[in-house]
Amino acid sequence: MSTIDLRTVTIKPLRHTFTHVAERIGGDKPATRYQEGTFDIQATHNFHYRPTWDPDHEIFDRARTAIVMKDWYAFRDPRQFYYGTYTAARARQQETAESNFAFVESRGLVSALPEAVRHLALELLLPLRHLEWGGNMNNAQICDYGYGTAISQPHIYKAMDHLGIAQYLTRVGLLLADETALDAAKQQWIADPKWQGLRKYVEDSFVLKDWFELFVAHNLVLDGLLYPLVYERIVDDDITMKGGSAIAMLTLFMTEWYGETAKWVDATIKTAAAESPANAQQLSQWTREYLQRGVRAIQPIARHALGANAEAVLGDIEDQFKSRVAKLGLAL
Amino acid sequence: MDMPVAKKKLGLKERYALMTRGLDWQTTYQPMDKVFPFAKYEGIKIHDWDKWEDPFRLTMDAYWKYQAEKEKKLYAIIDAFAQNNGHLGVTDARYVNTLKLFLNGISPLEYMAHRGFAHVGRAFPGVGTRVACLMQSLDEIRHSQTQIHSMSNYNKYYNGMHSFPKMLQRVWYMSVPRSFFDDAVTAGPFEFMIAVGFSFEYVLTNLLFVPFVSGAAYNGDMGAMTFGFSAQSDEARHMTLGLEVIKFVLEQDPDNLPIVQRWIDKWTWRGYRVLTLVAMMMDYMLPKRVMSWKEAWEVYFEQNGGALFKDLARYGIRPPKWLDQIEFDKDHISHQAWSTLYQYGGASNFHTWMPSDEEMDWLSAKYPNTFDKFYRPRFEHWRDEQKKGNRFYNMTLPMLCQTCQIPMIFTEPGDPTQTCYRESTHKGMKYHFCSDGCKEIFDHEPEKYKQSWLPVHQIYQGNCFNPGVDPTAEGFKPLPVVLDYYGVGFGRDNLDFEGSEDQKNFAAWRGAATTNV
Amino acid sequence: MAAVAAVKPYEFEAADRLENFHGNQLLYIGWDQHLMFCAPFCFPLPPAMPFRAFVEQVLPGAFGYHPEFKQIDWSKAEWLASGQPFKPDWDKSLTDNGLAHKAVLRLRTPGLTGIKGSAT
Ligand SMILES: [Fe+2]
Ligand SMILES: [Fe+2]
């Protein structure tokens, strides 16, 4: 074998990609790894047995949501995430996060934080560990019940992102305080009145049967209100102004992650809404309902962190959210 | 000021516990049973989810970092392999047929494992368990995609790989691996963990991956070898999870033992039946053989598995049932399977062939008690007929086992000359099985296995034709339309290796490589 | 037989019930000691088909590749149905021979032991 120089041969391939991929990209031509690793990978027919955990449906079943698509591979992840690109992107982000944590630690920036800021950061960020855990559960659920790899795949990535974020928040807690702060925050999450709206919102989402409704409830509405509020308006604006830019460094991952992930959430809603007026109406109805509940749920947090400014900020966030979803084809 | 000045350094275990444990809480706005509706129906009793020992302590940031590094290296090799026409470096184009088996029959199941672990991860109320399962879910989509991406280059030059998702769902013998996984994912979360996490990942995985990965290495396939090696560190984690789950469940409540034991019996047998395809691959499809199926079984099951079950004995677990039959059959199943795929070579997506004299001698040496007596006469007869232009293509559809869905090719324990028939009657209808194992599995859950999508019966029901086909038309020939439905191109994807496009192209391309320099 | 553990009643129609076969029923047949045919065969047949037609018109297409098929002395052939001795009436239908949907037959041909006596 070593005597043969295989590189010198020019041979004409029989085909450029898989048949099912070619059918989706308009003919036999080179396809991307995202396309080859995504299209039609999930089984759709000739299932052998009904699930013992859901005898009314097939293992993968279009009927698990009210959203109707002619082709569930109409969805595209604008980030083109397959496992390789996903881990590469997150590895880069975690490197930045790592150096930010190292920077804050090595410069002693924590001890330089005004006490009020440190206190607020702990009070605000640590209970969110549990909310992120809820995000992990809900996205695992959508990955499980979603139909077609194009839409189920990004949800395992997002599920693990939420776990990663919960772990970053844990590290923030351990950096700003110690383990006892984690326990205290859990107590707040469970019993403090200002967190109960959010906790109820999340617990109610745990029992949703329609996975696309769950997508709207968590990934569109809850993320869409909470990330702008917590990381943009409270941490990046308010806390930074009060001398807490170290906190903003420690949560940079979340800010960037939200910016990136929202693009995919938008693309997903847009595709589903554009499919049919019925879809658009259903999505609008869900969004309207969860928006109302979501705004109510985050209000006490906003008031606690922003005081008199809270209503104005919430108003802004709600307006921004409404104009965002209007662009996606929803009518609130 | 309550600020701790010097913090105590947390140990790895402590730190990992803080990163995961306690993230969950007892829900009160919705009852826990509604939030976790699948945690109890299988009858497994868990009293304390916190007793779960995290088998690996990997936070997400570390996971992203390590895995991204592995991906970078792997894809660099895949790219180089493609650029350098690495496929022309394999021993012989027959080798590519093992990849067809793998891409069609295994990669889509890696994907199923991904979805299955997402399902059970969500279903378990315990945090440690969930994190471990979801991480495996993420790994499994990796495996399916790295396999697809590695073999993408082969698909450009060889037949039989172009429609793998369709083939898994339609081609007759593919219902064997597929129904195995459908069975596991439709079970409850605990059974899934014993099926896939324990029986498959822990007990049987070496019998699947070692043959393919070392087969690739022995046959000059750097591309496939590399994804195999790259998956190994993931597999190490998965095996640990498989073992942890069984110990955890058994330690939680003595009532769990009989349920778990039955699952171990069932899933070892189910898995072993699927491995028939691997046995055949090892003994017949690798131009350069690694070891025989029998040797692999002895090393990876009898020795390694023996030690495992000794270890589990302290929980009251005994070795899986029907091992005596497996022990007897290890001299037979690879030959029986190759006979099957050879004669039904008109209806499958890869090429088959009769072994050369030299290969038959290797088989005689590896199977001194059985090959010459039972199988060599069969193969020599077929080879002679093939030389006369009368190559055996069996055109009559076989009877399948209701449970494992393999044609009824297996013989009576102790009598390799007699087909093994077993049957049960359920609600007035007969069901047929290849073995005591498959019959017992059915008898325990007839409502499940009566649903089996058996390819032969489905053809006869008229469910394996593309839309527009009229089976009542004058002169209707089922085979071509069934192949159409399968996505199998007649004369390109199927039939004998001798005279195939793969064979001709490989020879021409290799020839060009040796003469053009 | 035990029940399947499930979150709600778990009962379905059998995938292979008789009415799914467009008027045919399934009949399986294996030829003992002739493992050249790797497994018994499966046929969809009209229940009214005479046993003779099954043997004379259906079996040659399935077993005819074997050099011993022509040597079968049908008067000495032995039959098993579901493993029990079975004496078919060649002129009666499958149904009248007691062969219902998914019946399984074994054909035994004493003296014929397969290629080189190897049960092939
Ligand atoms: Fe895997
Ligand atoms: Fe079986």
Count CB atoms within 10 A of the CB of residue B414: 10
pLDDT at position B477 is: 81
CA atoms of B9 and B158, how far apart (whole Å): 57
Taking CA–CA distances from C113, the nearest residue in chain B reads B417
Q: Where are the domains of chain A?
A: 81-326
| Chains touching chain A, criterion 3+ CB pairs below 8 Å | B, C
Task: Report the alpha-carbon angle B276-B134-B311, nearest 5.
Answer: 55
Chain A residues in contact with C8 by the CB 8 A cut-off are 55-56
The answer to whether the CB atoms of B453 and A179 lie below 8 A apart is no
pLDDT at position A6 is: 67
Q: Are A93 and A164 in contact (CB under 8 A)?
A: no
B156 CA to centre of own chain: 24
pLDDT at position A245 is: 95
The 10s digit of each residue's pLDDT in A196-252 is 999 999 999 999 999 999 999 999 999 999 999 999 999 999 999 999 999 999 999
- Region A152-166: mean pLDDT is 98
Q: Which of B268, B241, B252, B43 is nearest to B138 (CA)?
A: B241
Percentage of chain B exceeding pLDDT 70: 98
Using the predicted structure, report yes or no on whether residue A273 has a pLDDT greater than 60: yes
Closest to C5 (Cβ–Cβ): which among B42, B400, B419? B42
Q: Where are the domains of chain C?
A: 28-117
pLDDT at position B421 is: 98
The 10s digit of each residue's pLDDT in C85-114 is 999 999 999 999 999 999 999 999 999 999
Burial-class residue B305 by CB neighbours within 10 Å (0-12, 13-18, 19+). buried
Using the predicted structure, report yes or no on whether residue C78 has a pLDDT greater than 70: yes
The 10s digit of each residue's pLDDT in C14-30 is 999 999 999 999 999 99
CA atoms of C119 and C115, how far apart (whole Å): 7
**Considering chain C, what is the average pLDDT of its residues?**
96
Strand bridging mode B411-412 / B422-426? unpaired
At residue B313, φ and ψ (nearest 5 deg) are: -60, -30
Region label for C12, one of left (φ > 0), alpha (ψ between -120 and 50) or beta (otherwise): beta
pLDDT at position B231 is: 86
CA atoms of A178 and A233, how far apart (whole Å): 26
B106, two tokens:
């295994």
B2 pLDDT band, cuts 50/70/90, is very low
Of the listed ligands, the closest to the CA of B201 is 1
Burial-class residue B473 by CB neighbours within 10 Å (0-12, 13-18, 19+). exposed
For residue A290, CA distances in Å to A217, A327, A332 come to: 6, 18, 11
Region label for C102, one of left (φ > 0), alpha (ψ between -120 and 50) or beta (otherwise): left
The predicted model scores a pTM of 0.96
Q: Which of B242, B244, B237 is nearest to B67 (CA)?
A: B237
A5 pLDDT band, cuts 50/70/90, is low
Q: Distance, in angstroms, between B453 CA and closest chain A CA?
A: 5
Give chain B's domains with CATH numbers: 57-514 (1.10.620.20)
Pick B231 or B485 by higher pLDDT: B485
B302, two tokens:
């009898």
Using the predicted structure, report yes or no on whether residue A162 has a pLDDT greater than 70: yes
pLDDT at position A7 is: 66
Judge whether C17 is closer than 8 Å to chain B, CB to CB.
yes
Task: Report the alpha-carbon angle A299-A304-A305, nearest 5.
Answer: 100
Secondary-structure class of domain C28-117 per CATH: alpha beta
Q: Which residues contact B446 (CB under 8 A, 6 or more apart)?
A: B424, B426, B427, B431, C1
The 10s digit of each residue's pLDDT in B262-300 is 999 999 999 999 999 999 999 999 999 999 999 999 999
Chain A residues in contact with B28 by the CB 8 A cut-off are 190, 203
- Region C27-35: mean pLDDT is 98
pLDDT at position A4 is: 55
Q: How far separated are the first and last CA of chain C, in Å rounded?
A: 37
- Region A311-318: mean pLDDT is 98
What is C77-117 written as a DSSP string? -EEEETTEEE---TTSBTTTTT--TTEEEEEE-TT---GGG
DSSP B496: B
The 10s digit of each residue's pLDDT in B169-199 is 999 999 999 999 999 999 999 999 999 998 8
B328, two tokens:
């007897």
pLDDT at position B6 is: 56
Q: Are C41 and B456 in contact (CB under 8 A)?
A: no
Fold for the domain defined by A81-326: Ribonucleotide Reductase, subunit A (1.10.620)
At residue B78, φ and ψ (nearest 5 deg) are: -60, -45
Burial-class residue A61 by CB neighbours within 10 Å (0-12, 13-18, 19+). middle
The 10s digit of each residue's pLDDT in B295-337 is 999 999 999 888 899 999 999 999 999 999 999 999 999 999 9
Pick C112 or B232 by higher pLDDT: C112
The 10s digit of each residue's pLDDT in B350-365 is 999 999 999 999 999 9
3-state secondary structure of B37: coil
pLDDT at position B99 is: 96
| Chains touching chain B, criterion 3+ CB pairs below 8 Å | A, C
Tell me how many residue pairs between chain B and chain C have CB atoms under 8 A apart. 151
The answer to whether the CB atoms of B430 and C118 lie below 8 A apart is no
Strands of B415-462 (E only): list them: 415-419, 422-426, 429-433
